[in-house]
Structure 1
Amino acid sequence: MPTRIDVALGPRSYPVLVHSECLPQLGTTLRSNGLAQTNAFVLTNPDVAALYFSALETSLKNAGFLRIVRHEIPASEEGKNWDIFSATCAALLEHFPDAGASPLVLLLGGGVVGDLGGFAAAVYRRGVPFVQIPTTLLAAVDSSVGGKVAVNFGGVKNIMGAFSQPRLVFCDLATLKTLPPRELRSGTAEIIKYGAVCSNTLFEELEAGALEKLLALDPDTLEDIVSKCVQLKAAVVAQDEFDKLGIRNVLNFGHTIGHALELSAHYALTHGEAISIGMAAATRLALRLGLCSPEFQTRLEALLRRAGLPLSHPGHPELFDPMLRALQLDKKFRNGKNLFVLPNAPGAWKQVEDIPWPLIHSAMREALEETTRP
């Protein structure tokens, strides 16, 4: 039986189902969750389609779906742009022009497919139902849950988007077996983030060896840790669905400098690698502001290293200026004041506004230098 986590949002509530080798049951699961459509629009990327589309299509047909359209987009973050988004909307209109035959949109892939496809579903005919089917560790624990859907535009990450909740998140952990090792490591950055600012218990569990079992794709550990991360995110989203109260900002630990670096480096770093560097930089800021201890910094950096994640992106001083420009467009900044999510101790955090820019500049430069800490 899959682990079920409910994202409690009143009429927009939905389940997240986490299990392994369950893709053949997708069709019947959709039916049992009230998603009895006859048409399906499957957004995916070429690599994932080659591995899993056939099984998905068979499952849908066996459950009574009559028309299944596949549309592929690039897997890279660079492809999460307005042109690809527009082409996806055009495909929806081409294949499903009749309002009476709107499809169920199925998002089979990682964060790029989920973000772009969720945004397309949110705006096509003012919203059609969609289901997230994450096939990366990062998407499973983070981007598939919570309803933030977006594309990059004008050199700004996720600036065009919406809040639109899926009807279901269906996570088959067996798909993680085909992830390249770098992508698997990348996904652990978001897991370590949850431990660092949301759950001391999770942080200590990772330190005690769960991290290595996760990277070895131990089935029990995978289901346990992914489910715990989804529970943590679901609890935050339930309190602040539309990001208005500041509660949901906790999920942005490491993302302020991390997003600026990811964008400025033209996605030479994976999202998880950039967030790892961003968490290390934010922790240095916290230490200098007296918000966390050197012991916490040591423990966090040790976990990131054990996951095979970087603490800096050395040899690229030319990225400082574009990083600074990207940082100043961060969605958390208001009225000319910066805002950072900084750690206090495992499972504890604080929002800090208007940090002196020289401190931020120092943290950014260190993110572009060789890390010398042991």
Structure 2
Amino acid sequence: MPATRIGVLTGGGDCPGLNAVIRAVVRKGVQDYGMEFTGFRDGWRGTLDGRTVRLDIPAVRGILPRGGTILGSSRTNPFAEKDGIRRIRETLAKAEVGPLIAIGGEDTLGVAARLTDEHGIRCVGVPKTIDNDLSATDYTFGFDTAVQIATEAIDRLHTTAESHMRVLVVEVMGRHTGWIALHAGLAGGANVILIPEQRFDMAQVCAWVTSRFEASYAPIVVVSEGAVPKDGELVLKDTSRDSFGHVRLSGVGEWLAHEIERRTGHEARTTVLGHVQRGGTPSAYDRWLATRFGLHAVDAVREGDFGKMVALHGTRIVRVPIAEATATLKTVDPALYEEAGVFFG
């Protein structure tokens, strides 16, 4: 048995940069510290069911530019599973794994925090979410790629909107926060940006749309999937929930287009970017950030600094308690949204 065998898993929604983290973890751990690694398939599901894969340097060659995750992912919550903690302990013992590096967002890292604090299973966290909503880090990898993809889509939609003089509504990801919508909407020259942090007035949206047409231009409306009208409720495709209790979002774009067309008389269409935003090759920035996170996560394991998450503060990678990092979401500052308002209408 090696002196240190480390487990690695990726949980939650996939995003560009996950493979860069895995590569960095393995390369530095093997080369600098003589560690060995075991990957768990499909997030926390792999630790429950004993699904493992060997991770060594040959296994991570060539994965830096690849999107998704070679380990697979899922939205499995061990605390919602029968005998979940016992099963994890048995899996780790059978695989001869000690510490775990958990790469994920609010839910995946929330599990890691509880396992460390309540059950003595040693975890180090790496923040991953394209929504960029973890409060303890300036940025999460995957976000930059999602913004670039959304911005390119908005750029392309301007020309078809103007060709037909119709409203085009672009629905982007953002369950609780509007970072993607704000960044991509501002970069792409959107005429309306709607985010979850600010309930929107449908009459005001229609006024902005009408104003744009009066200037002989076709408007682009960018909306986060979690945006909610002032006099309405969250728009849902269905009411089913995952193991963390989250409902399936998407649908606000279609609803918004219907309301705009009904109220203004102008034709409106919807483009839902959906999973396109988190698929494909990561941007250079996301590869850089994910790689640095992986390198520093291995250092945390080697130093026994468990229950911590690596985070970006300015240009420095620091460590913060996982429980603290997942306690509150990082929401869009109203002042930032107000800045973008100059371009509405």
Normalising by structure 1, report the TM-score: 0.32
Structure richer in helix, relative to its length: 1
Larger Rg: 2
Normalising by structure 2, report the TM-score: 0.34
Between 1 and 2, higher relative CO (CA 8 Å, sep ≥ 6) is seen in: 2
